[in-house]
Amino acid sequence: MRVSYHTHSHYDDGAGFLKDYVQRAIELNFGALGFSAHAPVPFETDWTLKQEDLSAYLKEAYDLKEEYAKKIQLYVGLEIDYISGMDVEIPEGLDYYISSVHHVRTKDRLIPVDGPFEMVSEGLKDCYNGDGKAYTKDYFSVLKEMINVRKPQLVGHLDLIKKNNRDQMIYKEEDTWYKEEVEKVLETVKKAGSIVEINTGGMSRKYVDTAYPSPWIIKIMKQMDIPVVLNSDAHNPMWLDTEYEQTELLLKKLGYQTQRVLIDGIWQDVAF
Ligand SMILES: [Zn+2]
Ligand SMILES: [Zn+2]
């Protein structure tokens, strides 16, 4: 069964209407589809829902859920930022939400982990004296804080930090300290009982060659028996299943026969 609970439309920083995603998911014979616009954050952005659009988004999503109930299971969610030291509201009445870290906050400055690259390298220079290790550790520290505080159902793009690590300019993924940081995050995930999404969004937008998280991390997750769900983080309805085939093969190779999906209103394990 294929699903994606991670999609972005014209409401935030994606393309297309919610209905376009529904039609594409039906075309692809998906078992379920979730809407996950970026929830509003306490500052101006060009990538989140506007606070005043939140209720329209939720209403449209719930209306579609009802309208299409006989054709496909739809779920209404949000991708909710966790920013250390800032209150980001978790609205009531959602079917689920994805909890994500997109920023590292230091010296009262927000560095957007997912770029653009110039902003990351500027922040790295100004706030960390170019110390990629310190910056990376801060990212994982916020991630652990998020998981501890929220105990979210779904953890978004666990190693998003690699998006701007082209040519290993920030850190080396093989380094022991990096592996240890990742393991500490996974222990936190395990304790919280969260699902880690396998996210192909960085691949469809050509930022990275493999899904978030990297294969060696998925391998450790399997050993720890951490549940996964394959999500596309699609910013265009055409990318709803991008890179699914090869990522499913990879997951099976790494030992995952099932994924944890929201079906009939319950998170349950089903075969890929
Ligand atoms: Zn995200
Ligand atoms: Zn997203």
**Ligand 2 midpoint to CA 140 (Å):** 18
**Ligand 1 midpoint to CA 70 (Å):** 30
How confident is the model over 106-154, as pLDDT tens digits?
878 999 999 899 999 999 999 999 999 999 999 999 999 999 999 999 9
How confident is the model over 190-218, as pLDDT tens digits?
999 999 999 999 998 888 889 999 999 99
Torsion over CA: 188, 192, 198, 204 (sign): negative
d(CA 152, CA 119): 28
pLDDT of residue 106: 87
**Ligand 1 midpoint to CA 62 (Å):** 22
* Residues 15 and 32 sit within 8 Å (Cβ to Cβ): no
Domains of the chain in start order, with CATH, are 3-271 (3.20.20.140)
**pLDDT class for 166, splitting at 50, 70, 90?**
confident
d(CA 219, CA 237): 30
d(CA 124, CA 170): 9
Minimal CA–CA distance to 164: which of 116, 223, 211?
Answer: 116
**pLDDT class for 271, splitting at 50, 70, 90?**
very high
Strands 258-263 and 266-271: antiparallel
What is the value of pTM for the model shown? 0.97
**Ligand 1 midpoint to CA 163 (Å):** 11
d(CA 272, CA 259): 6
Backbone angles phi, psi at 14, to 5 degrees: -105, -175
How large a percentage of the chain has pLDDT more than 70? Answer: 100
**Ligand 1 midpoint to CA 100 (Å):** 6
